[in-house]
Amino acid sequence: MSVKVGDIAPDFTLPSQTGEPVSLKDFRGKKSVVLYFYPKDDTPGCTAESCAFRDSYEAFTEAGAVVIGVSADSPASHQKFAAKYNLPFILLSDTNNQLRKLYGVPAAAFGLLPGRVTYVIDKQGVVRHIFNSMMNFKAHVEESLKTLKEIQSAAI
């Protein structure tokens, strides 16, 4: 299965960096969700991408969105990563890659690396935008903010 724009985002429950379970349905009707899948904590590309989300965090909150990062790292690894780079958002631990498979996130680099894909999900749970790029880290943030602005202006 591969999630497409216009689909209802599949619900999930995974542990966060604090060990607390987080479900997509917790945000339904309340906030848009920027769900970004990344390969691994504390690697150069993933750090650049996560810090780009951190640096624009205020813009995401102003746009009525919550940012959630997902990788196969453990909650303890996420906790260290978040503390080291002052990441103010949720990091979820998808240790067996079930969520990655559920969303159909493709592998990159000849299937050796988990892919880097961002999903923008509106308050109703509809996937409004999908961005897939292993190397253009900042574009994940730019594309997400652009989509959230479009969602906001359509709601006015």
Residues 6+ apart with CB under 8 A from 41: 71, 73, 77, 78, 80, 81, 91
Q: What angle do the packed helices 44-55 and 137-155 form, to 10 degrees?
A: 30
For strand 65-71 and strand 21-23, is the pairing parallel, antiparallel, or unpaired?
unpaired
The one catalytic residue in 9, 14, 24, 46 is 46
CA dist 16 and 82 (Å) reads: 11
Concerning whether 46 is annotated as a catalytic residue, the answer is yes
Question: Residue 96: left if φ>0, alpha if ψ -120 to 50, beta else—which one?
Answer: alpha
Q: Which residues are identified as catalytic?
A: 46
